[in-house]
Chains A and B, each alone.
Chain A
Amino acid sequence: GNSVTQMEGPVTLSEEAFLTINCTYTATGYPSLFWYVQYPGEGLQLLLKATKADDKGSNKGFEATYRKETTSFHLEKGSVQVSDSAVYFCALRLSYIPTFGRGTSLIVHP
Chain B
Amino acid sequence: EPEVTQTPSHQVTQMGQEVILRCVPISNHLYFYWYRQILGQKVEFLVSFYNNEISEKSEIFDDQFSVERPDGSNFTLKIRSTKLEDSAMYFCASSVGRDDGYTFGSGTRLTVV
Residues of A within 8 A of B (CB): 4, 36, 38, 41-46, 49, 89, 91, 95-103
CB contacts (< 8 Å) of B4 on chain A: these are 43
Bound form: Cα–Cα A42–B5 in Å: 10
- Out of A36, A42, A45, A102, name the residue touching B42 (CB < 8 Å): A102
In the complex, 16 of the A-B residue pairs with CB atoms within 8 angstroms, ordered by the A residue number, are A42-B106, A43-B106, A44-B102, A44-B104, A45-B103, A45-B104, A46-B101, A46-B102, A96-B98, A98-B45, A98-B102, A101-B42, A102-B40, A102-B41, A102-B42, A103-B43
Whether a CB of chain A sits under 8 angstroms from the CB of B62 is no
CB contacts (< 8 Å) of A43 on chain B: these are 3-4, 6, 91, 93, 103-107
CB contacts (< 8 Å) of A100 on chain B: these are 35, 42-44
CB contacts (< 8 Å) of A38 on chain B: these are 104
Residues of B within 8 A of A (CB): 3-4, 6, 33, 35, 37, 40-45, 48, 56, 91, 93, 98-99, 101-107
Bound form: Cα–Cα A100–B37 in Å: 10
Q: Are A97 and B48 in contact (CB under 8 A)?
A: yes
Bound form: Cα–Cα A97–B33 in Å: 9
Q: Are B48 and A41 in contact (CB under 8 A)?
A: no
CB contacts (< 8 Å) of B3 on chain A: these are 43
CB contacts (< 8 Å) of B101 on chain A: these are 46, 49
Bound form: Cα–Cα A102–B88 in Å: 13
CB contacts (< 8 Å) of B6 on chain A: these are 43
Query: Which chain A residue lies CB-closest to B103?
Result: A43
- Out of A41, A49, A96, A103, name the residue touching B106 (CB < 8 Å): A41
Closest beta carbon of chain A to B38's beta carbon, Å: 10
CB contacts (< 8 Å) of B104 on chain A: these are 36, 38, 43-45
Closest beta carbon of chain A to B29's beta carbon, Å: 14
CB contacts (< 8 Å) of A97 on chain B: these are 33, 45, 48, 56
Query: Which chain A residue lies CB-closest to B9?
Result: A41
Bound form: Cα–Cα A41–B45 in Å: 20
Closest beta carbon of chain B to A12's beta carbon, Å: 18
